[in-house]
Amino acid sequence: MPLRPSALPTLDVPHLAVHGLWCTWLAALLVSWDTLPMTGRVTLMGAGFLLLFWNYAVLHNHMHQPIARPRALRWLVSRTLGVACGFAYRGYHIHHFNHHRYNDGEGDWGRRRSGEGALRYLVRSTLTPWFWPHGLLANVWKVAGQRKGQRAELVLDFVLLQGSLVALALWRPWLALSYFGMMLAGQLSIHVLNLAAHHETDATRRDSLAVTSTSRLYNLLCFNAGYHQAHHLRPQLPWRELPALTERLASEGLIRPALQTPLSPIHPSWVARLLKRYAAAPCAPQKDSTTTSETPSAAI
């Protein structure tokens, strides 16, 4: 029997609380920067790095099921989450749904290139949201044109992200430089997640789309982000229901034991293993999606 999602709350309080922490941090950063000693500034940037990473878990779930369902609030939260994570929201939303269509296989704009090692992939992917390659930007622009208003949102999100950084640089250059460096470090850690989530996976096999992390602490703090195989098979399923779906998929043989780990994707030993052993050749190519049972809508 298919797993039916439960009714979704109007406001997802845990996710909104995490995003609220970032908003509070940003306000504290802007107000106190001039009066803080160097140790205070470094501490505040360290907190910003952690909050950026945490807010990415919020952003990811919001793209699939909005954490605020009233239309105006949903629109506003989409913009602020994008700024929090250093992504032009509409562009990243389109990019992410392309990832779900091809499951890190051929056609996925964000997959590793042939012969590309882990470090090169991480640096290239981290710089992409700031220096969009022409080909990728053309693809995103084309998809945005398929829905009314999305190109306007795309332009607005670029202006918000890049414009806020320029304004910050004109006001407080050292603050802007520190903030940008922190954001690059946070985004690099986000792309480590993608490496970990698709390490030795196979986009042509339904049981091998992603790695499943059963780390209790990671799944508690990051809203079940470790259940990535279940998420790729049912992208629109609410985050609270992913553990139950994972158990069911395991009983049906749709989760390979070799692609399960008790480690979180950010565990130091797992990250070191990725950087050392990640294959130079990307996963088996796939021309069309033959694996995802629910192709997400790009309407959010």
Q: Residue 137 and residue 158: Cα distance in Å, rounded?
A: 12
Structure confidence by residue, pLDDT tens digits, 60-102: 999 999 999 999 999 999 999 999 999 999 999 999 999 999 9
Instruction: Read off the pLDDT of each residue in 146-167 and give the average, rounded to a whole number.
Output: 97
Cβ contact 211:267 at 8 Å: no
- Number of Cβ within 10 Å of residue 262's Cβ equals 11
As given in the structure block, the two tokens for residue 197 are 């989530």
User: Can you give the three-state secondary structure of 158-187, one letter per residue?
Assistant: HHHHHHHHHHHHHHCHHHHHHHHHHHHHHH
Q: Residue 135 and residue 95: Cα distance in Å, rounded?
A: 13
Per-residue confidence band for 288, with pLDDT thresholds at 50, 70 and 90: very low
pTM of the predicted protein model: 0.90
Instruction: Read off the pLDDT of each residue in 15-20 and give the average, rounded to a whole number.
Output: 99
> Which is more confidently placed, 249 or 293?
249
Strands 260-261 and 212-213 come out as parallel
Over its C-alpha atoms, the chain yields an Rg (Å, rounded) of 19
Per-residue confidence band for 1, with pLDDT thresholds at 50, 70 and 90: very low
